[in-house]
Amino acid sequence: MIPKDATGSALELASRVLAIEADAVRALIARLDERFLAAISLIRDCRGRVIVSGIGKSGHIARKIASTFSSTGTPAYFVHSAEASHGDLGMIQREDVFIGVSYSGESDELLQILPLVRRQGAKMIAIAGNAQSTLAREADVFLDAGVAQEACPLNLAPTASTTAALALGDALAVTLLQARGFSAEDFARSHPGGALGRRLLTHVSGVMRSGAEVPKVSERATLKEAILEMSRGRIGMTAVLDTAGHVCGIFTDGDLRRALEKITDIGAACVADVMSVRPRSIRPEALAAEAVQVMETHKISQLLVIDARGELVGALNMHDLFRAKVI
């Protein structure tokens, strides 16, 4: 636990770190020029893959850049600079684009493989902090990730410099994403195992209740019949259909409570007299996430699923969406 008298200085130092790193990223904006556009063109026109390499802290950043590229429509791999000269360099081909990440631009392990990358005929992009470095001079395109100072009080530990390199990599990836017309559905296909994938890939048809599981009664049904059908369905509602079989209303738990307040003879009541007309509905091909949005917007917990012909094909409530882990 930090001593009370040191709390102030700790917060001051943390604030200073964040301010320095924020300034480092902000400074990159003024340096965006035709070199950035040239890098985008090289990667966009690449017929092979993007190979990102670095060592040490820059290696961690390079791995993250490669991962971000891959998840946003640009196939990319990370190659550890030291491992590259021991066989991994064999994956680099003429059609590839090689991105070297090194703040100094003089990392021995990275420089050792540059002639071999050149021999293979791959194009080269440098992300470095020194325009006069060997890496910058050897590259087809140099992207300046220089910073005024590190956030480390000793001005030694890679902090602001790695943040700047990471942000520059993100700028490349997102710009390429837009250039390729990469969609949310494309993104979801790269993330099928997570919550994002479930939200973007799960459709209403995959989580709704259908067939006999959908509670429904005729508009001529009595209130008692509607209550019994609603209880059978166990989703807090029943659809009400007209003589043509189309939805003309919905009868919910809320409608029942309101009916009990004003009806004295439940046995003689008709469901058409107490149902809600023009109920909210959704198409089966809609995303399940859209169903969540409709429910939250209109403060309801059930939805009827109606197809393009206006026919009832299913129903769902919040519990169905919870079970599908959409919410």
pTM above 0.75, yes or no: no
Model confidence at 54, in pLDDT bands (50, 70, 90)? very high
Model confidence at 199, in pLDDT bands (50, 70, 90)? low
315 has a pLDDT exceeding 80: yes
pLDDT of residue 282: 96
Beta bridge partners of 222: 270
Amino acid symbol at 270? C
Share of the chain above pLDDT 90, in %: 68
What DSSP line would sit under 92-145, residue for residue? --TT-EEEEE-SSS--HHHHHHHHHHHHHT-EEEEEES-TTSHHHHHSSEEEE-
| pLDDT, greater one: 156 or 171 | 171
Place of tokens 């003024």: 30
303 has a pLDDT exceeding 60: yes
Q: Is 304 exposed, middle or buried (0-12, 13-18, 19+ CB in 10 A)?
A: buried
Q: How far apart are CA 120 and CA 114, in angstroms?
A: 10
pLDDT of residue 87: 58
pLDDT of residue 188: 58
Domains and CATH numbers, the chain: 13-182 (3.40.50.10490), 204-323 (3.10.580.10)
pLDDT of residue 202: 83
19-36: average pLDDT: 96
pLDDT of residue 190: 58
Model confidence at 321, in pLDDT bands (50, 70, 90)? confident
pLDDT of residue 6: 55
DSSP 151: S
Q: How far apart are CA 288 and CA 93, in angstroms?
A: 43
Using alpha carbons, list the distances in angstroms from residue 270 to 31, 110, 226, 233, 264: 73, 80, 9, 19, 13
Q: How far apart are CA 82 and CA 32, in angstroms?
A: 30
2 has a pLDDT exceeding 60: no
Q: Report the chain's mean pLDDT, rounded to a whole number.
A: 89
